[in-house]
Structure 1
Amino acid sequence: METKFEHLLISSHKADMIRHMKSHPEDFQEALQLALADKQPYSWRAAWVLWSCMDKNDRRLQQYIPKFIDILPERKESQQREFLMILQRMELNDDAEGKLFDVCTKLWTKLNHSASLRYNAFKMLAAISKKHPDFNNELESLMEPRYMESLSHGVKKSLYKCFQIQLPK
């Protein structure tokens, strides 16, 4: 049976969901558990709501960082994208960054994945590389034309901006 919060996730507009979360902080835990679950269509929407109403480096999410990273490869693309957007707003330790770099590399190199998922995977790769310059060579190799060709000009431009290099003509 659908919970009240699950019903809200599939029947409300984003602004209404965010308003609800602000006025009902007790639902944050249910949103978190749903986000981590594989219960569609609720799980990706719960992750979407979490990302939209969380604080930067939200203390309520810190202990779940390893779980987000561990289950990231197993989830559907929409949920993966939202997990990456959550993780982009969290401070990660070196171990988490290493694992996430590997996961994001796999997501980025799967050319059949949606542009939005690949874009967020690359943003995460760029952020990790900024902290760990030893990853820069690997990141540069991930910008080879074969990985970029299927992306729109706008997405390519954003990705090059992430790495602060000129878009090739």
Structure 2
Amino acid sequence: MILKQQILKENSKSNTVKIADYIADDPDKFEELISLFLGNDYRVTQRASAVVSLCTSNHPQLITPHLKKVILNLKKDVNTAVKRNTVRLLQDIDIPNKLLGEAADICFKFLESKQEPIAVKAFSMTVLANICKKEPDLKRELQILIEDQLPTGSAGFKNRGNKVLKQIENY
């Protein structure tokens, strides 16, 4: 399979699953996917982001050598799909201590932004809640940000926000 060609073939869940199944737990194939994901072609990065997220969900060890590049990629002007899928995968992995600060800064910016979609904000809340387990000093900042947005937040924001507030009470 030629990854770039397959990614561009169609934008569908079945194609995403097909590519993820092809990559399976092969680090070399995943590295090729990461290079497409971190590239400059809007459509390729957008579609590759869903595959990266699914591969990481199925085989979390694959993302480890690429985690720093993937997190720092969020500091660039990337499309919404890349943000959403990157933050989605970050909520399900153990972020190494040396990358916690970068991940927290990025997620706090996403959560503060009025332009970010609800999914990016919701996943950012979960990543930040997970970071608060290791860095409880951040708990108050997260709590304030969520509480400030709850009155005007969407149903999805309120749902995730209330869950995260309950979760961090115990930290």
Q: Same fold (TM over 0.5)?
A: yes
Uncovered stretches (5+) of structure 1, i.e. residues with no partner: none
Give the Cα–Cα distance (whole angstroms) in 1 for the partners of residues 58 and 92 of structure 2: 5
Give the Cα–Cα distance (whole angstroms) in 2 for the partners of residues 157 and 127 of structure 1: 17
Matches within 5 A, 1:1-16: 4-10=2-8, 11-16=10-15
Q: Percent identity?
A: 21
Alignment partner of 1:51 is 2:50: no
Does the 8 A contact of 1:122 with 1:159 survive in 2? yes
Matches within 5 A, 1:1-169: 4-10=2-8, 11-25=10-24, 27-55=29-57, 58-74=60-76, 75-145=78-148, 147-164=149-166
RMSD: 2.3
> How many residues end up aligned between the 2 structures?
162
TM-score (norm 2): 0.81
Uncovered stretches (5+) of structure 2, i.e. residues with no partner: none
Return structure 1 stretches of 4+ with deviation > 6 angstroms. none
Give, as a single letter, the amino acid of the residue that structure 1 aligns with 2:128: L
Structure 1 16/134 Cα, relative in aligned 2: closer, same or farther at 3 Å?
A: same
Structure 1 120/39 Cα, relative in aligned 2: closer, same or farther at 3 Å?
A: same
SS in 1 for 2:41: coil
Greater helix fraction, Structure 1 or Structure 2:
2
